[in-house]
């Protein structure tokens, strides 16, 4: 006898808890919560509610399966393209030593600039005013200093970020992830600054032009805030490629450089089905700098 959960459609056996009865149910809490509502509803109303919840739940599962398959195909396709491009670049590197160069794939930060809109500036000002007021409330300790977790002995992490051009900064919006903790720490480092001066210190660092679709502090030259004024999110976040690089820097043999394939979309948009995430360039990165692959268009 074939049994399935009346909500999500998961297959059940006769020995499954909840499988016996008018409404077979699986062990999932959301499904059991649907069935629990039967006690508070008339049977006809519960039947309608059950039909609606079951329809929605199964549609969501179908969409999730389709998305999982799309991502599987996408991952396999991009992996093959990256491998081919890495091999092409490496073939042009005299005396290439594969064990001392690692391969990385990078997203791309936005390339276009736009004049900073007054609306964005006002949103930023409002947010800063709010978090500075929160930072002044009594009772909270000053958070410890928080800086980016990178190997300061190597220039490679910084070179990788420079080539990416802020592909992870595009969700900073008009708040730049700034919080009361960030401001409280900055004020502890600058005890002579009054709250109004703290506000000015942030606002004065806004540039006339910012990168389109990115953080308000993201410019063609990078972030306008020094590290001690940036959010913990900005200081601590490492993308997958940076994590791989950090791990490899701790291993032997010593890393001489990185072979990079770069794709069109930013870090957060690279999986979206409607976006063109084709390869837009390649490069080799060493301690001395970035060398774009001659085949770049």
**Per-residue pLDDT tens digits for 162-219:** 999 999 999 999 999 999 999 999 999 999 999 999 999 999 999 999 999 999 999 9
Which SS3 state, helix, strand or coil, does residue 32 take? helix
Check residue 8 and give its pLDDT.
93
Which range has the top average pLDDT, 33-42, 53-62, 120-129?
Answer: 120-129
**Which of residues 144 and 108 earns the better pLDDT score?**
108
| Lowest-confidence pick of 2-16, 20-34, 43-57 | 2-16
Pairwise CA distance, residues 214 & 241, whole Å? 20
Average pLDDT of the residues in 244-266: 94
Instruction: Name the strand (E) or helix (H) holding 57.
Output: helix 43-91
Pairwise CA distance, residues 24 & 189, whole Å? 62
Q: What percent of the chain has pLDDT over 90?
A: 79
Is the confidence at residue 152, as pLDDT, over 70?
Answer: no
Per-domain residue ranges of the chain: 3-64, 92-292
Check residue 147 and give its pLDDT.
53
Is the confidence at residue 148, as pLDDT, over 50?
Answer: no
Q: What is the mean pLDDT of the chain?
A: 91
Closest listed residue to residue 157, CA positions, set 285, 44, 14? 285
Sequence-ordered list of residues with C-beta below 8 angstroms from that of 257, at least 6 positions apart, any chain: 100, 101, 156, 284, 285, 286, 287
> 218-247 burial by CB neighbour count: b if 16+ within 10 A, else e?
bbeeebbbeeebbbbbbbeebbebbebbbe
> 259-283 burial by CB neighbour count: b if 16+ within 10 A, else e?
bbbbbbbbbebbeeeeeebebbbbb
CB atoms within 10 A of CB 155: 15
| Lowest-confidence pick of 13-22, 67-76, 192-201, 245-254 | 13-22
Check residue 14 and give its pLDDT.
73
Place of tokens 């919080």: 179
Is the confidence at residue 151, as pLDDT, over 50?
Answer: no
pTM (predicted TM-score): 0.77
Q: How confident is the model at residue 273 (pLDDT cuts 50, 70, 90)?
A: confident
CB atoms within 10 A of CB 20: 11
Check residue 2 and give its pLDDT.
72
Residues 216/173, Cβ–Cβ less than 8 Å: yes
Q: How confident is the model at residue 16 (pLDDT cuts 50, 70, 90)?
A: low
């Amino acid at each position: 006898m074939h049994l399935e959960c009346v909500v999500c459609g998961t297959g059940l056996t006769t020995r499954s808890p909840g499988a016996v009865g008018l409404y077979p149910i699986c062990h999932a809490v959301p499904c059991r919560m649907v069935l629990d509502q039967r006690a508070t509803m008339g049977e006809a109303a519960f039947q309608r509610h059950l039909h609606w919840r079951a329809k929605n739940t199964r549609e969501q599962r179908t969409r999730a399966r389709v998305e999982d398959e799309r991502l599987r195909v996408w991952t396999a396709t991009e992996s093959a393209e990256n491998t081919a491009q890495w091999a092409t670049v490496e073939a042009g590197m005299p005396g290439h030593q594969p064990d001392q160069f690692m391969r990385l794939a990078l997203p791309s930060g936005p390339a276009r600039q736009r004049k900073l809109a007054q609306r964005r500036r006002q949103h930023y000002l409002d947010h800063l005013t709010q978090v500075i007021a929160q930072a002044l409330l009594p009772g909270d300790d000053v958070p410890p200093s928080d800086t980016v977790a990178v190997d300061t002995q190597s220039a490679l992490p910084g070179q990788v970020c420079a080539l990416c051009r802020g592909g992870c900064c595009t969700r900073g919006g008009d708040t730049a992830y700034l919080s009361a903790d960030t401001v409280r720490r900055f004020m502890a480092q600058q005890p002579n600054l009054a709250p109004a001066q703290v506000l000015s210190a942030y606002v004065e660092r806004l540039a006339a032009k910012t990168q389109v679709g990115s953080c308000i502090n993201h410019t063609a030259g990078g972030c306008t805030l020094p590290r001690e004024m940036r959010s913990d999110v900005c200081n601590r976040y490492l993308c997958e490629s940076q994590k791989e690089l950090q791990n490899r820097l701790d291993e032997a043999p010593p890393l001489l450089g990185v072979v990079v394939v770069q794709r069109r979309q930013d870090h957060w948009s690279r999986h979206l089905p409607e976006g063109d995430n084709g390869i837009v360039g390649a490069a080799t990165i060493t301690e001395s700098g970035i060398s774009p692959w001659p085949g770049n268009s």
